[in-house]
A and B are shown apart, each in its own frame.
Chain A
Amino acid sequence: TQLLEQSPQFLSIQEGENLTVYCNSSSVFSSLQWYRQEPGEGPVLLVTVVTGGEVKKLKRLTFQFGDARKDSSLHITAAQPGDTGLYLCAGDFPLWAGGTSYGKLTFGQGTILTVHP
């Protein structure tokens, strides 16, 4: 069974601070995705990382995929109140990528981020 451990579970910071969220697993994933979810809405994809060691930047957000494709991190610089939400990492390893599933996402338990003005 593939599991993703996300930490921290809760994060409460002041506007302007930096933060990092971690996503770790003992399993290899062919890709790892980060989502942001607002209350009452579905997850919205932020980024997909597919290559070990890959780093992607999305404005103030920096995403990194571990060399062994088992872990990832999300770093937010100068957080703003609009960044508040549930951040989810999700791994995928479908058959067509050499995996063992037909293509399903395994999610971490999420990090609830609150940025205070």
Chain B
Amino acid sequence: DAGVTQSPTHLIKTRGQQVTLRCSPKSGHDTVSWYQQALGQGPQFIFQYYEEEERQRGNFPDRFSGHQFPNYSSELNVNALLLGDSALYLCASSLWGAEGYTFGSGTRLTVV
């Protein structure tokens, strides 16, 4: 039973560029949440997708957008990258209406 899969594992981008990160949820899960984790800090909630719609959003600018596909997988897009966007981006999947989140290993994004 595969857990949460994220790709790529590492990414280096230049300031101003755009990036797309991908997440496949754990089998049986239908909800995907994205978090940003700065080095040595706790993760910060970006947004959550269920039934292909953004259900809730954290305190992140519109440069951060996402999508969920019919197979429940999800993408996180960040436009106009800033140096401060450098972080570990985590995807967590869950079943809507139930407790329990499973995290992926994350994508380490470095903006130079």
Interface core residue of A31, A101, A105, A107 (most chain B CB under 10 Å)? A105
Q: Which residues of B contact A98 (CB under 8 A)?
A: none
A96 to B105, CA, bound (A): 28
Q: Contacting chain A: which of B14-22, B50-58, B61-69, B74-82?
A: B50-58
Contact with A along B11-52 (1 / 0, CB 8 A): 000000000000000000001010100001111110010100
**A102 close to B48 (CB less than 8 A):** yes
Q: Which residues of B contact A41 (CB under 8 A)?
A: 105-106
Interface core residue of A31, A35, A107, A108 (most chain B CB under 10 Å)? A107
Q: Contacting chain B: which of A14-22, A42-50, A55-63?
A: A42-50
> Number of residue pairs across A and B with beta carbons under 8 Å?
68
Give the distance to chain A from B24, nearest Cβ to Cβ, in Å: 14
A43: contacting residue among B41, B50, B90, B108, CB under 8 A: B90
Interface size class of chain A, counting residues whose CB lies under 8 Å from the partner chain:
20 to 34
Interface residues of A in 94-113 (CB under 8 A from B): 96, 101-110, 112
**A42 close to B97 (CB less than 8 A):** no
A44 to B43, CA, bound (A): 13
**A43-B43, A109-B41 known; A103+B94 contact, CB < 8 A:** yes
In the complex formed, the residue of A with least CB distance to B97 is A96
**A45-B101, A48-B99 known; A110+B41 contact, CB < 8 A:** yes
Q: Which 8 residue pairs are nearest across A and B when measured between Cβ atoms?
A: A107-B42, A42-B103, A102-B56, A102-B55, A104-B45, A110-B42, A109-B42, A42-B105
B contacts, CB < 8 Å to A: 4, 31, 33, 35, 40-45, 48, 50, 55-56, 58, 88, 90, 92, 94, 96-97, 99-106, 108
Selected A-B contacts with CB under 8 Å, 26 pairs: A4-B42, A6-B42, A40-B108, A41-B105, A42-B92, A42-B104, A42-B105, A43-B90, A43-B103, A44-B103, A45-B101, A50-B99, A88-B42, A101-B56, A102-B50, A102-B55, A102-B56, A103-B56, A103-B94, A104-B33, A105-B33, A105-B45, A107-B35, A107-B42, A109-B41, A112-B40
